[in-house]
Amino acid sequence: MSEERPKRIAIIALNGTMDQAYPPLILASAAVAMDMEAAIFFSFYGLEIIKKNSNLKVSPIANPAAPAPVGNFRVPNIVGMLPGMTDIATLMMKSWMDKAGVASYQKLLEMCIKSGVRMIGCQMTMDVMGVKKEDFVDGIEIGGAATFLDYAADSDISLAF
């Protein structure tokens, strides 16, 4: 489309579970593929998404829609508290995703960085949680509220996950 400037999406990623890592990474990478500009501001547990060798999991706790370990049997939510249930839920989700041909979130992260999505780690929450810039994969910039707002002020779409 012939616009003055490209459309722009500004995303905040606050969560560090595997399922919640997908929406920001999918939307940002797809936006760039649609000739838009995209940035993701990673804060709080969202910082886990951009760590080197991250191993995000699916939480079965407080998640009644978590993957069922046996067929379609919906286990009582309290079972999610048992040791090992987080790993089981994660394995179930990964096997579903493999079957459907979904890219890993690590691959999408790489694609976001490679395609020029602005990836911003939140300095304040890094300090709170003892996270260093070296803990992140390459291609992450560090910033704060003003950095995000400066970008988001000129954006057409803003989302928080």
Residues at the interface with another protein (CB under 8 A)? 1-2, 7, 26, 29-30, 32-36, 100-103, 108, 111, 115
Nearer Cβ to another protein (127/156)? 156
Tokens of 71: 């067929």
Instruction: Determine the Cα angle at 112 with ends 14 and 8, to 5°.
Output: 75
CB of 46 to another protein, least distance (A): 19
Q: Residue 11 and residue 148: Cα distance in Å, rounded? A: 9
Give whichever of 103 and 137 is closer to another protein, judged by the CB atom. 103
CA distance 148 to 118: 10
Q: In the bound complex, what is the minimum distance in angstroms from residue 99's beta carbon to another protein?
A: 11
Question: Smallest distance, Å, CB 27 to another protein?
Answer: 8
Q: Enter the tokens of residue 72.
A: 């379609």
Nearer residue to another protein within complex by CB, 40 or 88: 40
Per-residue CA distances from 120 to 41, 67, 149 (Å): 5, 31, 12
Largest CA distance in the chain: 55
Please report how close the Cβ of residue 118 comes to another protein at its closest, in angstroms. 17
In the complex with another protein, the residue whose CB is nearer, 49 or 75, is 49
Q: Which of 114, 67, 61, 71 is nearest to 91 (CA)?
A: 67
